[in-house]
Amino acid sequence: MPTPTVARLEALATELERAGIAYRELSPMADTGLAHDHVWVHRNDGDDWVARLPKQSQMNLPPEANLAYQAACYQRSSPGGHTPVLYDTLPPGESLPRGGLLVEAIRGRLASLPEDLPAIADALASLHRQPLPALAARAPLLAPKNPWQAMVDEVRQQANWLGDAQLSSKVTQRIKQELDLLPPRLNDETATLISFDTHPGNFLIRDDGRAVLVDLEKCRYGLPGIDLAHTSLYTSTTWDVNSQAVLSLNDVINFYRRWQAAMSESPDTDSLVACRRATWLWSLTWCAKWRAQHLNAKDAQQRGEDWSAELTDPAVIDHVRDRVEHYLSLPIIDHVHSELQCLQASL
């Protein structure tokens, strides 16, 4: 699979030299995602780093603000012990227009489901248990006053792309029916630090069994049920080509209960299932948005969000297109809907 270009590697080498950062070798990593290139930075002391070089900003931020946001994600989450440490940032410039982050290199294997779900539940709990900072100290991370309403608003905003995604009328109607099932409020809207991007492909499992969440760029102060959903929904567990699995209802229930056992308090079942439906709808409406935007030319000015297929290896785009079509099909929509009903009755 193609890796970061020679020009990209030369630009990284230039910026590392400019920053006075010594290293022994740069090893480009496979292009597997839509948001970053990754390069393994071999250091003389053996304490290797990974350079995360943004292709775009999924938070739709300009380059400097995007770097500051991602840096805050790593800084806020690392005290839990299940995310990489942030070591440095490379500012945006002529050679790296979106800059880069230098984070701890995690040696581990890809997550295997359902076997690694307990370790992943523990990793999420380590994130969600962290004390909330004072309101004034939560920036730059998103910290909505009403996290449930903010989630619903984000889903409905993405749903505006349904009309441009060239979906069948039946699929569009079914998604709108699910949107109508989102409650106006929850019984428990207590916010915690959450990742908002916890699909299993974003975890590595160390030799000691500890799960490490390595991809952090969308953190915010929101509802922990969103992370639980994003880890265990069908649209998440079958997303990554290297860690695909279809979970049973018991697998999902045991995952939630493991997380609850690691927490001092847990939202009630109604709140957890509502977050699960909202997260699923966020994924479906993102699929519609990607379907409508991915054939656009890339943004030459490299400013904010950019889903152009030109930025990513064609094999990855083919995989994303396959997943998007699959998730936006009526049988899969009906499958996830049925699971939500069963989970409501069983959790």
Q: Is residue 302 domain-shared with residue 188, that is, in the same domain? A: yes
**CATH code of the domain containing 145:** 3.90.1200.10
> What pLDDT, on the 0 to 100 scale, is given for residue 298?
81
Query: How would you list the strands of the sheet with 211-213, edge to edge?
Result: 109-110, 203-205, 211-213
The residue written with tokens 């922990």 in the block is 224
- Residue 57 in any domain: the answer is yes
- Residue 86 in any domain: the answer is yes
> What pLDDT, on the 0 to 100 scale, is given for residue 205?
97
Helices vs strands, H then E, count in the chain: 11, 10
> What pLDDT, on the 0 to 100 scale, is given for residue 2?
47
Choose the final residue of a domain: 71, 104, 137: 104
Choose the final residue of a domain: 75, 104, 133: 104
Q: Is residue 117 domain-shared with residue 229, that is, in the same domain? A: yes
**CATH code of the domain containing 80:** 3.30.200.20
Q: Is residue 233 domain-shared with residue 99, that is, in the same domain? A: no
Q: How many structural domains comprise the chain?
A: 2
Q: Is residue 49 domain-shared with residue 113, that is, in the same domain? A: no
Q: Is residue 86 domain-shared with residue 119, that is, in the same domain? A: no
Q: Is residue 95 domain-shared with residue 231, that is, in the same domain? A: no
Q: Is residue 182 domain-shared with residue 65, that is, in the same domain? A: no
SS3 content of the chain, % helix, strand, coil (to 5): 50, 10, 40
Domain encompassing residue 82: 6-104
Q: Is residue 125 domain-shared with residue 50, that is, in the same domain? A: no
Q: Is residue 122 domain-shared with residue 92, that is, in the same domain? A: no
Q: Is residue 113 domain-shared with residue 95, that is, in the same domain? A: no
- Residue 82 in any domain: the answer is yes
Q: Is residue 253 domain-shared with residue 120, that is, in the same domain? A: yes
- Residue 39 in any domain: the answer is yes
> What pLDDT, on the 0 to 100 scale, is given for residue 1?
38
Of 134, 154, 142, the C-alpha closest to 221 is: 142
- Regions of the chain where pLDDT drops below 70: 1-4, 301-307, 309
Strand residue runs (E) in the chain: 25-28, 36-42, 49-54, 86-90, 100-104, 109-110, 192-194, 203-205, 211-213, 220-222
Q: Is residue 196 domain-shared with residue 295, that is, in the same domain? A: yes
> What pLDDT, on the 0 to 100 scale, is given for residue 190?
93
Choose the final residue of a domain: 44, 69, 104: 104
